[in-house]
Amino acid sequence: MIPIVLASVLIACALGCGTPPIEPVTTRVVNGVDAKPHSWPWQISLQYERDGEWRHTCGGSLIAANWVMTAAHCINNKLSYRVYVGKHNLVEEEPTSKAILPETIIVHEKWNPIFVAFGNDIALIKLSEPVTLTDHVQLACIPPAGTLLPNLYPCFITGWGRLYTGGPIADKLQQALMPVADHATCSQPDWWGIAVRTSMVCAGGDGIVAGCNGDSGGPLSCKNSNGVWEVHGIASFVSGLGCNYEKKPTVFTRVSAFNDWIDLVRRQSHVLLFYSK
Protein backbone atom coordinates (compact mmCIF):
# COMPACT_ATOMS: atom_id res chain seq x y z
CA MET A 1 0.00 0.00 0.00
CA ILE A 2 1.39 3.45 -0.87
CA PRO A 3 2.06 5.50 2.29
CA ILE A 4 0.38 8.90 2.47
CA VAL A 5 3.70 10.59 1.98
CA LEU A 6 3.13 9.67 -1.03
CA ALA A 7 -26.24 0.78 -9.40
CA SER A 8 -27.71 0.20 -6.78
CA VAL A 9 -26.82 -2.39 -4.21
CA LEU A 10 -27.61 -5.06 -6.78
CA ILE A 11 -24.33 -4.38 -8.59
CA ALA A 12 -22.45 -7.01 -6.65
CA CYS A 13 -25.19 -8.52 -4.58
CA ALA A 14 -26.13 -11.22 -7.01
CA LEU A 15 -27.35 -14.42 -5.43
CA GLY A 16 -24.55 -16.04 -3.50
CA CYS A 17 -22.13 -13.11 -3.27
CA GLY A 18 -20.29 -12.71 0.00
CA THR A 19 -20.91 -16.31 1.09
CA PRO A 20 -17.66 -18.21 0.53
CA PRO A 21 -18.12 -21.99 0.23
CA ILE A 22 -14.93 -22.25 2.31
CA GLU A 23 -15.65 -20.23 5.45
CA PRO A 24 -12.75 -18.04 6.65
CA VAL A 25 -11.09 -18.91 9.95
CA THR A 26 -11.84 -15.68 11.81
CA THR A 27 -10.94 -16.42 15.40
CA ARG A 28 -7.87 -15.67 17.52
CA VAL A 29 -6.18 -13.44 14.94
CA VAL A 30 -3.69 -11.05 16.54
CA ASN A 31 -1.47 -10.19 13.62
CA GLY A 32 -1.48 -11.13 9.96
CA VAL A 33 -1.65 -14.88 9.42
CA ASP A 34 -1.97 -17.15 6.42
CA ALA A 35 -5.57 -17.17 5.24
CA LYS A 36 -7.35 -20.49 4.85
CA PRO A 37 -6.92 -21.20 1.12
CA HIS A 38 -9.73 -19.73 -0.98
CA SER A 39 -11.75 -18.57 2.03
CA TRP A 40 -11.80 -15.03 0.57
CA PRO A 41 -12.75 -16.02 -3.00
CA TRP A 42 -13.40 -12.47 -4.24
CA GLN A 43 -9.78 -11.45 -3.56
CA ILE A 44 -7.71 -10.94 -6.72
CA SER A 45 -4.04 -10.18 -7.40
CA LEU A 46 -3.43 -7.26 -9.74
CA GLN A 47 -0.14 -7.76 -11.55
CA TYR A 48 1.95 -5.69 -13.94
CA GLU A 49 4.50 -6.74 -16.52
CA ARG A 50 8.15 -5.74 -16.30
CA ASP A 51 11.11 -7.28 -18.09
CA GLY A 52 8.97 -10.17 -19.27
CA GLU A 53 7.78 -11.03 -15.76
CA TRP A 54 4.45 -10.49 -14.04
CA ARG A 55 4.70 -8.95 -10.58
CA HIS A 56 2.05 -8.49 -7.91
CA THR A 57 1.33 -4.85 -7.16
CA CYS A 58 -2.14 -4.58 -5.59
CA GLY A 59 -5.20 -6.44 -4.47
CA GLY A 60 -8.78 -6.03 -5.57
CA SER A 61 -12.27 -7.51 -5.32
CA LEU A 62 -14.27 -9.38 -7.93
CA ILE A 63 -17.67 -7.64 -7.88
CA ALA A 64 -19.14 -9.21 -11.03
CA ALA A 65 -18.10 -11.99 -13.40
CA ASN A 66 -16.23 -9.45 -15.54
CA TRP A 67 -15.60 -6.54 -13.14
CA VAL A 68 -12.92 -5.96 -10.51
CA MET A 69 -12.80 -3.10 -8.00
CA THR A 70 -9.43 -1.76 -6.86
CA ALA A 71 -7.70 1.48 -5.88
CA ALA A 72 -7.02 4.28 -8.35
CA HIS A 73 -3.45 4.67 -7.11
CA CYS A 74 -2.75 1.10 -8.23
CA ILE A 75 -3.17 2.10 -11.87
CA ASN A 76 -0.40 3.50 -14.06
CA ASN A 77 -1.42 4.04 -17.69
CA LYS A 78 2.13 3.28 -18.80
CA LEU A 79 1.95 -0.30 -17.53
CA SER A 80 0.28 -3.48 -18.74
CA TYR A 81 -1.81 -5.38 -16.20
CA ARG A 82 -3.49 -8.70 -15.65
CA VAL A 83 -5.93 -9.87 -13.00
CA TYR A 84 -5.36 -13.19 -11.27
CA VAL A 85 -8.47 -14.78 -9.79
CA GLY A 86 -8.53 -17.82 -7.51
CA LYS A 87 -5.00 -17.30 -6.20
CA HIS A 88 -3.72 -18.25 -2.75
CA ASN A 89 0.04 -18.72 -3.20
CA LEU A 90 1.63 -16.25 -5.61
CA VAL A 91 4.74 -18.34 -6.21
CA GLU A 92 3.02 -21.63 -7.04
CA GLU A 93 1.05 -22.83 -10.03
CA GLU A 94 -2.51 -23.39 -8.88
CA PRO A 95 -5.16 -25.13 -10.99
CA THR A 96 -7.85 -23.08 -9.25
CA SER A 97 -6.44 -19.79 -10.55
CA LYS A 98 -6.61 -17.98 -13.86
CA ALA A 99 -4.98 -14.83 -15.25
CA ILE A 100 -7.23 -12.53 -17.29
CA LEU A 101 -6.27 -9.39 -19.19
CA PRO A 102 -8.31 -6.21 -18.75
CA GLU A 103 -10.59 -4.98 -21.50
CA THR A 104 -10.63 -1.48 -20.01
CA ILE A 105 -9.65 0.27 -16.79
CA ILE A 106 -11.65 3.21 -15.44
CA VAL A 107 -10.14 5.43 -12.75
CA HIS A 108 -12.39 7.80 -10.83
CA GLU A 109 -12.40 11.15 -12.64
CA LYS A 110 -11.78 13.08 -9.40
CA TRP A 111 -8.81 11.00 -8.31
CA ASN A 112 -5.72 13.15 -7.71
CA PRO A 113 -2.50 11.10 -7.76
CA ILE A 114 -0.56 13.89 -6.05
CA PHE A 115 -2.85 14.07 -3.02
CA VAL A 116 -4.01 10.61 -1.96
CA ALA A 117 -5.90 12.08 1.00
CA PHE A 118 -8.23 14.00 -1.34
CA GLY A 119 -10.09 10.71 -1.71
CA ASN A 120 -11.79 9.08 -4.70
CA ASP A 121 -9.16 6.35 -4.64
CA ILE A 122 -11.20 3.85 -6.61
CA ALA A 123 -10.95 2.22 -10.02
CA LEU A 124 -12.86 -0.45 -11.91
CA ILE A 125 -11.35 -3.02 -14.25
CA LYS A 126 -13.53 -4.62 -16.90
CA LEU A 127 -12.14 -8.03 -17.74
CA SER A 128 -11.69 -9.21 -21.32
CA GLU A 129 -13.71 -12.31 -20.49
CA PRO A 130 -16.02 -13.29 -17.64
CA VAL A 131 -14.69 -15.59 -14.97
CA THR A 132 -16.33 -18.90 -14.15
CA LEU A 133 -17.57 -18.89 -10.57
CA THR A 134 -16.45 -21.88 -8.51
CA ASP A 135 -15.79 -22.75 -4.88
CA HIS A 136 -12.53 -20.83 -5.27
CA VAL A 137 -13.78 -17.82 -7.26
CA GLN A 138 -16.81 -15.96 -5.94
CA LEU A 139 -18.26 -12.46 -6.07
CA ALA A 140 -17.95 -9.84 -3.37
CA CYS A 141 -21.04 -8.12 -2.03
CA ILE A 142 -21.15 -4.33 -1.93
CA PRO A 143 -22.91 -2.77 1.08
CA PRO A 144 -25.99 -0.56 0.66
CA ALA A 145 -25.23 3.05 -0.31
CA GLY A 146 -24.34 5.25 2.62
CA THR A 147 -23.68 2.40 5.04
CA LEU A 148 -21.52 3.45 8.01
CA LEU A 149 -20.10 0.88 10.38
CA PRO A 150 -19.96 1.60 14.12
CA ASN A 151 -16.71 2.01 16.01
CA LEU A 152 -14.84 -1.27 16.62
CA TYR A 153 -16.99 -3.23 14.16
CA PRO A 154 -14.98 -6.39 13.32
CA CYS A 155 -13.62 -6.48 9.77
CA PHE A 156 -10.78 -8.31 8.05
CA ILE A 157 -8.06 -7.05 5.74
CA THR A 158 -6.63 -9.53 3.25
CA GLY A 159 -3.74 -9.28 0.83
CA TRP A 160 -0.24 -10.24 -0.24
CA GLY A 161 1.32 -6.97 0.94
CA ARG A 162 4.57 -6.54 2.83
CA LEU A 163 4.77 -8.57 6.02
CA TYR A 164 6.22 -5.54 7.82
CA THR A 165 7.35 -2.03 6.87
CA GLY A 166 10.12 -2.41 4.31
CA GLY A 167 9.81 -6.20 4.36
CA PRO A 168 9.03 -8.73 1.61
CA ILE A 169 5.57 -9.28 0.19
CA ALA A 170 3.77 -12.43 1.27
CA ASP A 171 3.71 -15.59 -0.83
CA LYS A 172 0.44 -16.80 0.69
CA LEU A 173 -2.64 -14.63 1.11
CA GLN A 174 -2.65 -13.02 4.54
CA GLN A 175 -5.59 -11.99 6.71
CA ALA A 176 -5.91 -9.99 9.90
CA LEU A 177 -8.69 -8.74 12.12
CA MET A 178 -8.91 -4.94 11.90
CA PRO A 179 -11.79 -3.34 13.83
CA VAL A 180 -13.26 -0.16 12.34
CA ALA A 181 -12.22 3.19 13.78
CA ASP A 182 -15.25 5.39 13.10
CA HIS A 183 -14.88 8.87 11.62
CA ALA A 184 -15.20 10.58 15.01
CA THR A 185 -12.27 8.52 16.28
CA CYS A 186 -10.12 8.50 13.15
CA SER A 187 -10.42 12.27 12.60
CA GLN A 188 -9.13 13.15 16.06
CA PRO A 189 -6.05 15.42 15.92
CA ASP A 190 -3.67 12.73 17.23
CA TRP A 191 -5.10 10.18 14.78
CA TRP A 192 -5.52 11.20 11.12
CA GLY A 193 -7.15 14.57 11.76
CA ILE A 194 -8.44 16.37 8.69
CA ALA A 195 -6.58 13.96 6.38
CA VAL A 196 -9.41 11.44 6.66
CA ARG A 197 -12.66 12.26 4.87
CA THR A 198 -16.17 10.97 5.33
CA SER A 199 -15.81 9.06 2.04
CA MET A 200 -13.15 6.93 3.74
CA VAL A 201 -13.22 4.29 6.46
CA CYS A 202 -10.42 3.57 8.91
CA ALA A 203 -9.56 0.22 10.45
CA GLY A 204 -6.91 -0.82 12.93
CA GLY A 205 -4.68 1.73 14.63
CA ASP A 206 -3.38 -0.47 17.45
CA GLY A 207 0.19 -0.24 16.18
CA ILE A 208 0.27 -4.00 15.54
CA VAL A 209 -2.04 -4.94 12.66
CA ALA A 210 -2.19 -2.91 9.46
CA GLY A 211 -2.14 -2.96 5.71
CA CYS A 212 1.14 -2.31 3.92
CA ASN A 213 2.60 -1.93 0.43
CA GLY A 214 1.02 -4.53 -1.82
CA ASP A 215 -2.28 -4.63 0.07
CA SER A 216 -3.53 -1.54 -1.74
CA GLY A 217 -6.78 -1.95 -3.64
CA GLY A 218 -7.68 -5.02 -1.63
CA PRO A 219 -10.83 -5.47 0.42
CA LEU A 220 -11.84 -4.69 3.95
CA SER A 221 -14.41 -7.44 4.40
CA CYS A 222 -17.06 -7.26 7.13
CA LYS A 223 -19.84 -9.74 7.91
CA ASN A 224 -23.33 -8.21 8.10
CA SER A 225 -26.20 -9.17 10.40
CA ASN A 226 -27.36 -11.79 7.89
CA GLY A 227 -24.00 -13.55 7.94
CA VAL A 228 -22.99 -12.28 4.50
CA TRP A 229 -19.55 -10.76 3.92
CA GLU A 230 -19.52 -7.29 2.34
CA VAL A 231 -16.54 -5.32 1.05
CA HIS A 232 -16.74 -2.02 2.91
CA GLY A 233 -13.28 -0.70 2.05
CA ILE A 234 -10.63 -0.48 -0.66
CA ALA A 235 -7.16 -0.25 0.90
CA SER A 236 -5.85 3.24 0.16
CA PHE A 237 -3.04 4.56 2.40
CA VAL A 238 -1.06 4.20 5.60
CA SER A 239 1.29 6.48 7.48
CA GLY A 240 4.69 7.36 6.10
CA LEU A 241 5.98 6.69 9.63
CA GLY A 242 5.29 2.98 9.17
CA CYS A 243 2.55 0.66 8.06
CA ASN A 244 1.49 -0.21 11.61
CA TYR A 245 2.01 3.10 13.40
CA GLU A 246 -0.19 3.54 16.47
CA LYS A 247 -3.23 5.80 16.01
CA LYS A 248 -2.59 5.88 12.27
CA PRO A 249 -4.98 3.14 11.14
CA THR A 250 -5.06 1.87 7.59
CA VAL A 251 -7.35 4.12 5.56
CA PHE A 252 -9.72 2.65 3.00
CA THR A 253 -11.96 4.16 0.35
CA ARG A 254 -15.48 3.69 1.75
CA VAL A 255 -17.23 1.60 -0.89
CA SER A 256 -20.72 2.65 0.21
CA ALA A 257 -19.89 6.23 -0.80
CA PHE A 258 -19.39 5.16 -4.43
CA ASN A 259 -22.37 2.92 -5.28
CA ASP A 260 -23.71 5.44 -7.79
CA TRP A 261 -20.31 5.85 -9.46
CA ILE A 262 -19.89 2.09 -9.77
CA ASP A 263 -23.35 1.80 -11.29
CA LEU A 264 -22.67 4.62 -13.74
CA VAL A 265 -19.35 3.22 -14.94
CA ARG A 266 -20.85 -0.20 -15.56
CA ARG A 267 -23.87 1.20 -17.40
CA GLN A 268 -21.76 3.49 -19.60
CA SER A 269 -19.40 0.64 -20.41
CA HIS A 270 -22.35 -1.51 -21.49
CA VAL A 271 -23.73 1.28 -23.70
CA LEU A 272 -20.38 1.94 -25.33
CA LEU A 273 -19.91 -1.77 -25.98
CA PHE A 274 -23.42 -2.01 -27.46
CA TYR A 275 -22.88 0.89 -29.85
CA SER A 276 -19.45 -0.33 -30.88
CA LYS A 277 -20.84 -3.58 -32.23
Residue 31, pLDDT > 80, answer: no
Looking at residue 116, its pLDDT comes to 86
Tell me the mean pLDDT in the region 209-234: 96
What is the CB-side half-sphere exposure of residue 261 using CA atoms within 13 A? 20
CA atoms within 13 A on the CB side of 224: 17
Is 183 a known active-site residue?
A: no
Res 262: pLDDT = 97
Among residues 39, 97, 187, 216, which one is catalytic? Answer: 216
What domains are there in the chain, each with its CATH number?
Answer: 41-139+259-272 (2.40.10.10), 153-255 (2.40.10.10)
Q: Which of 3-7, 32-36, 176-180, 257-261 has the lowest mean pLDDT?
A: 3-7
pLDDT on residue 27: 41
Query: Does the annotation mark 73 as catalytic?
Result: yes
Catalytic one of 38, 61, 121, 239 = 121
Catalytic one among 38, 56, 73, 136?
73
Our measurement of the distance from residue 25's CA atom to the centroid of its chain's CA atoms, rounded to an integer in Å, reads 19
The share of the chain scoring above pLDDT 70, in percent, equals 89
pLDDT at 12 over 50: no
**Cα 265 from Cα 214, distance rounded (Å):** 25
Residue pair 213/24 in contact (Cβ under 8 Å)? The answer is no
Mean pLDDT over 9-34 rounds to 61
Known catalytic membership, residue 80: no
CA angle 2, 30, 58 (to 5 degrees): 25
Measured between alpha carbons, how far is residue 277 from residues 66, 255, 268 in Å?
18, 32, 15
Identify whether the C-beta of residue 47 lies closer than 8 Å to the C-beta of residue 32.
no
Q: What integer is the mean pLDDT of 50-77?
A: 96
pLDDT tens string 155-187: 999 999 998 888 899 999 999 999 999 999 999
For residue 124, the model assigns a pLDDT of: 98
